[in-house]
Chain A
Amino acid sequence: MKITHHISDELLFDYANGALEEGWSIAVATHLALCPSCRKRLATMEAAGGMALEAIEIEPANTSTEEFSWEAMRARIDNAAPAVPVPARPKHTAGRAASLPEPLRSYIGGDVDAVKWKPLGLGAYHYPIKTSDEDISVRLLRIPAGKPVPEHTHGGRELTLVLKGSFSDISGRFGPGDFEETDESVDHQPIADPGEDCICLAVTDAPLKFKSRIVRMIQPLLGI
């Protein structure tokens, strides 16, 4: 897999920092599963987080509080059922071919051939993925070869991760593993490349939120 489009520093930093919502994080984590170079960048950010933790100012030690705290920790360990031993990270073994990496595969409940596609019209299909956050829309899209992405909204943040096939827009060509990040400042119309249907993961602000944003934008103009 030759990946040429990666996660931006600011988005990866939000993920490293624990400040990125679940929906966006699915796209980020799935790209990370495919991309050693972004994982390396993530590790640098987490190391910076570790240093922020080391450098934090703590209150002057209160011996009795610290003793009480350690006492509680000891008790918890003593009372805990013997933990199931965690095996050390086993080496990766190249094995069964799965086309969808984790964490995406678990969200879908199977591989790409298990997806119950729903028609969007014009030969395109989608499969909405449920998350705990209704403000963010997460779904798989299947775009017929040579056709534009339907229902394409231009607003809010939009993350696209190509899983199969490819598409092109003003930012270039996006193949398997490539990650595209756009916002309202980018006017783009992705079109699936000829030859093969394009399957991608698309994460956007949910239509409801998007609509309410438009209403907020035009309200002053209408004088409401």
Chain B
Amino acid sequence: MISARGRVRKLEKTVKEPDKDELSACLLAVGAGKDIQAFEVLFRHFGPKIRAFMLKRGGNRQQAEELMQETMMMIWNKAALFDPARGSVSSWIFTVARNVRIDAFRKTNRPEFDPNDPAFVPDPEPAADDVYEAGQEAERLRGALVKLPPEQADLLRLSFYEEISHSAIAERMNLPLGTVKSRIRLAFSRLRDILGDAA
């Protein structure tokens, strides 16, 4: 008997990797209607990446698998909060994975602002052009990241993969703290320049 899963797999082998618009559509479908097929696409694309990400950040293979499953469960439950006008799918999933790790290893939740809090100061209403731009930001950012000088790109990558503070990075890379700070500032001011150009 061929299971539905088997069919999906065969299909997948012939289908290329989903692009970011498909992933975005999948996450929206999970948010709107708990679409399990859309979720499977997300799982097969992001699951191995999240597992590798958790493994890099420390712990063994089994813990990495558990944290990945926990992250995907969170994505299943909270997909309705994803807003494509505010950022890309990978950015949103990164924040979910990051928070799952913090909740698992610290005794408390990560302190976060609450957009529904009456004391929260909301963003200025975006102009219609800005909403359109938001979809393109991810592409521009990707291009900008690739063009960062290697010493800045390496520093960002190491920080994300090892989940360590900039002072710990300084120790790890045997660099003066001031050098690390200025590389972070240069990298992000450059990214902001590129994103800000069209805004």
Q: Contact residues of A with B, CB < 8 Å?
A: 1, 8-10, 13-14, 17-20, 22, 25-26, 28-30, 32-36, 39-41, 43-59, 61, 63, 66-67, 69-70, 72-74, 76-77, 80, 83, 85-90, 92-103, 105, 107, 131-132, 177
Contact across chains for A47 and B141 when beta carbons are under 8 A apart: yes
A131–B106 CA distance with the chains assembled, in angstroms: 11
B150 at the interface (CB under 8 A from A): no
Given known A25-B111, A52-B161, A76-B73, contact A47–B83 (CB-CB < 8 A): no
Other-chain contact of A48, B86, B118, B141, B161 (Cβ < 8 Å): B141
* In the complex, chain B residues 50-101 whose Cβ is within 8 Å of any chain A Cβ: 50-53, 56, 65, 68-69, 72-73, 76-78, 80-81, 83, 86-95, 97-99, 101
Chain A CB within 10 Å — which of B40, B47, B73, B112 has the most? Answer: B112
CB distance from A33 to the nearest CB of B (A): 4
Can you show 10 pairs from A to B with CB atoms below 8 A apart? A10-B166, A10-B184, A19-B159, A19-B163, A33-B117, A46-B95, A48-B160, A73-B47, A83-B76, A103-B114
Contact across chains for B165 and A25 when beta carbons are under 8 A apart: no
CB closest chain-A residue, reference B39: A77
CB distance from A60 to the nearest CB of B (A): 10
CB distance from A144 to the nearest CB of B (A): 25
B36 at the interface (CB under 8 A from A): yes
Main secondary structure of the interface of A (DSSP, over half): helix
Other-chain contact of A44, B122, B159, B160, B188 (Cβ < 8 Å): B188
A86–B32 CA distance with the chains assembled, in angstroms: 10
Given known A17-B163, A48-B156, A66-B48, contact A102–B94 (CB-CB < 8 A): no
B147 at the interface (CB under 8 A from A): no
A95–B118 CA distance with the chains assembled, in angstroms: 6
A93–B117 CA distance with the chains assembled, in angstroms: 9
Q: What residues on A are CB-neighbors of B145 within 8 Å?
A: 48, 51
* In the complex, chain B residues 148-194 whose Cβ is within 8 Å of any chain A Cβ: 156-157, 159-161, 163-166, 168, 180-181, 184-185, 188-189, 191-192
List 3 tightest A-B contacts by C-beta distance, closest first: A50-B90, A50-B91, A33-B113
Other-chain contact of B5, A1, A67, A89, A107 (Cβ < 8 Å): A67
A9–B39 CA distance with the chains assembled, in angstroms: 35
Main secondary structure of the interface of B (DSSP, over half): helix
CB distance from A211 to the nearest CB of B (A): 20
CB distance from B108 to the nearest CB of A (A): 5
Contact across chains for A103 and B95 when beta carbons are under 8 A apart: no
Chain B CB within 10 Å — which of A20, A26, A56, A177 has the most? Answer: A56
Given known A18-B101, A77-B73, contact A132–B90 (CB-CB < 8 A): no
CB closest chain-B residue, reference A157: B167
A74–B44 CA distance with the chains assembled, in angstroms: 12
Given known A29-B111, A51-B90, A103-B111, contact A70–B44 (CB-CB < 8 A): yes
Q: What residues on A are CB-neighbors of B52 within 8 Å?
A: 56-59
Given known A47-B87, A59-B52, contact A39–B123 (CB-CB < 8 A): yes
Given known A49-B95, A76-B73, A131-B108, contact A14–B166 (CB-CB < 8 A): yes
Other-chain contact of B191, A19, A44, A73, A76 (Cβ < 8 Å): A44
Contact across chains for A36 and B123 when beta carbons are under 8 A apart: yes
Contact across chains for B102 and A9 when beta carbons are under 8 A apart: no
Other-chain contact of A77, B76, B86, B102, B124 (Cβ < 8 Å): B76
CB distance from A92 to the nearest CB of B (A): 4
Given known A41-B192, A43-B86, A50-B88, contact A77–B36 (CB-CB < 8 A): yes
